[in-house]
Amino acid sequence: MQVHPHLADCQEAIKHCVHRIQQPKHPPSHAIGIQLDPLNTISIATTLESELLVIVIQQGPIALANTALDCALEAWLLSERAREDQLRLDLTTKLIAQSQNEKTWLRSFATSIGAINRANAANTIAQGIFEPLRHLMLAESLFLIVDPAESERSGLQNCKFGTCSVDFEQVQAAAAELRDPARKVIVLRNPGVEGVSTLIGAKVAIGDNVLGYLIAINRQPQPGDSNRDETFADVIGLIEEAATLFATQTQNIHLVLESHQLVLGALHAMSSAIDARDPYTQGHSERVARLGYEIAKILGISETACQEIYLAGLLHDLGKIGVPDHILHKADALTNEEFTVIKQHPEIGHRIIERLGKLHFVLPGVLYHHERWDGNGYPHGLKQESIPLMARILAVADSFDAMTSSRPYRGAMPIQKAAAVIRDGAGQQWDTAIVDCFEIWLNRTLPAHPIGAPLEAEDLLANGAPFDSISQVVIALNL
């Protein structure tokens, strides 16, 4: 810094000028000056807001020095105001963009919530909301790390959004502080993981039950950000809100899954009660339901329709509740009168389920599973495609299980012989397209069993529902 030779001799003059320029009545952007001698002038200017103090000693009259200094000062103030206005404009633009992005993200969240009634709902919701969230946060990658117990309960899996090379184990280790029950969010700079400069995490929890962690890495500041901490404060609020919303929806999924289990358990109990009346038909309804589902899948119809067929299979013989035991358990051949009573069970089942309005979607399978493609079936003698598809599928499944199951008056028919009977009846008793799908299923299933081993239908069909969660029943029952 250069010190003018006159400056050391005029300290009192400088103090006087500074005192005057700091008075409330003095314009904050104007200079004042003192003539030191005929050749030299001292001029002082300040802007108190910016704490800028300018002292100039130059040759020339006071007026000229002050005018020059005022011009320079005004130019500086204008440039500062222009810079501040640009910052405010950038901030406003950023807030508008962020607001629009948040609205878009919330719409994605709302859309994803509609997946709750579908299988694999938790993962569908996560995929729908967290990739847009990563873009909204300007994060290089976003991780959803799921507690193993939650994965087992709802099927929710670890998810990674972004292309960084950091893996789940590294992120989870770096975010270990979130395991502290008292911590809901963390912000770490240089957390000790190669390639990670910042880590922002939030706990996904329902009360004290921790479902997992939502973690963003390498969040980049936006243009116009003047304070990195303030920027992170905005993002912290966003990731914490996202974690809370996702936890709430996961809790809803838990309730839906519990409803699935309750409904499916009730339907299984009903089918078991039917089969329990006759020890020779134990498990028949479950096997028919499972085979009907497998045939429907091969036919290529929707998952919802396949599930409807499965549930109709569970209830297809419900009407046998109305058949007297002496007919149902008879070891000898039935008389015509007794067979007439047996033939009433589809209509009895239809009347029972018809009163359960929420299960109407199973009625076609219950009422028409004994109709024949050639029109010689019962109870209404429907033929060909006038028979509902659900009933045509269950007719094949029901006949195959009946033939391959033991009865008091006969033993179980070998699987290959029963398959030949169904093949020979294609186009007469059964729909040819359904028989073709049945044969595809059988050819896929038999190689998994030792050649020559005695098999019955129950050996080919797994126990339990063939799907993790129900889609149609929850909608139908308005759960």
In a domain? residue 80: yes
C-alpha distances in angstroms, 193 versus 49, 188, 218? 43, 11, 11
Residues 116, 120, 124, CA angle at the centre, nearest 5°? 70
Consecutive sets of 10 residues in the chain, 479 residues long: mean pLDDT of each?
Answer: 44 55 52 60 56 55 60 62 62 48 49 48 70 78 87 82 84 86 87 86 87 85 52 75 80 72 71 69 86 96 91 90 82 85 92 81 94 95 96 96 79 88 96 96 81 64 69 47
In a domain, 103, yes or no: no
pLDDT for the residue numbered 117:
47
Residue 60: per-residue pLDDT: 55
Query: Is residue 147 in a domain?
Result: yes
- Tell me the CA distances in angstroms from 245 to 126, 204, 210, 248, one per residue in order: 11, 9, 14, 5
- Of 269, 250, 279, give the one whose Cα is nearest residue 318: 269
Verify that 218 and 282 share a domain, yes or no.
Answer: no
Asked if 309 and 374 sit in the same domain, the reply is: yes
Could you list the residue range(s) of the whole structural domain that residue 440 is in? 276-476
Report the Cα–Cα distance between both ends of the chain, in Å, rounded: 81
- How many CB atoms sit inside 10 A of residue 96's CB? 10
Do 240 and 354 reside in the same domain of the chain? no
Q: Is residue 91 part of a domain?
A: no
Please tell me what DSSP assigns to residue 221.
P
Cβ 47 vs Cβ 77: under 8 Å:
yes
Q: What is the CATH number of the domain that holds 233?
A: 3.30.450.40
Give pLDDT, residue 207.
83
Q: Three-class SS of residue 245?
A: helix
- Whether residues 79 and 158 fall in one domain: no
Does 92 fall in a domain?
Answer: no
Peptide bond into 27 cis (omega under 30): no
- Given a contact cutoff of 8 angstroms between Cβ atoms, the answer to whether 289 and 315 are in contact is no
Looking at the fold, whether 199 and 138 belong to one and the same domain comes out as yes
CA distance 36 to 58: 10
Same domain? 171 vs 221: yes
As a whole number of angstroms, the distance between CA 441 and CA 305 comes to: 18
Residue 261 in tokens: 């289990």
Residues in the chain: 479
Q: Which among 354, 381, 386, 384 has a CA at the least distance from the CA of 370?
A: 381
Q: Is 294 exposed, middle or buried (0-12, 13-18, 19+ CB in 10 A)?
A: buried
* Rg from Cα positions in the chain: 40
Single out the residue in 84, 101, 135 at which a domain terminates.
Answer: 84
Q: Which domain-ending residue is among 84, 99, 126?
A: 84
What pLDDT is stored for residue 326 in this prediction? 83
Q: Are residues 77 and 210 in the same domain?
A: no
Q: Which of 84, 102, 136 is the last residue of a domain?
A: 84
- What local confidence, expressed as pLDDT, does residue 322 receive? 85
User: pTM (2 decimals)?
Assistant: 0.54
370 lies in the same domain as 289? yes
Co-location of 148 and 246 in the same domain = yes
Cα–Cα distance for residue pair 290/447, rounded to 1 Å? 19
Domain count, the chain: 3
What pLDDT, on the 0 to 100 scale, is given for residue 91? 52
pLDDT of residue 396: 97
> Do residues 222 and 140 make contact, with C-beta atoms less than 8 angstroms apart?
no
Q: What local confidence, expressed as pLDDT, does residue 182 receive?
A: 85
The residue with tokens 């919303």 is: 245
Say whether both 333 and 241 belong to one domain.
no
DSSP string over 46-78: EETTTTEEEEEEEES-HHHHHHHHHHHHHHHHH
Give the pLDDT score at 394: 97
Please report which residue ranges of 179-319 form alpha helices under DSSP H: 228-275, 284-299, 303-315
Q: Give a yes or no: residue 349 inside a domain.
A: yes
Cα distance between residue 363 and residue 365, in whole Å: 5
Note whether 238 and 118 are within 8 A (CB): no
pLDDT, residue 116, reads 45
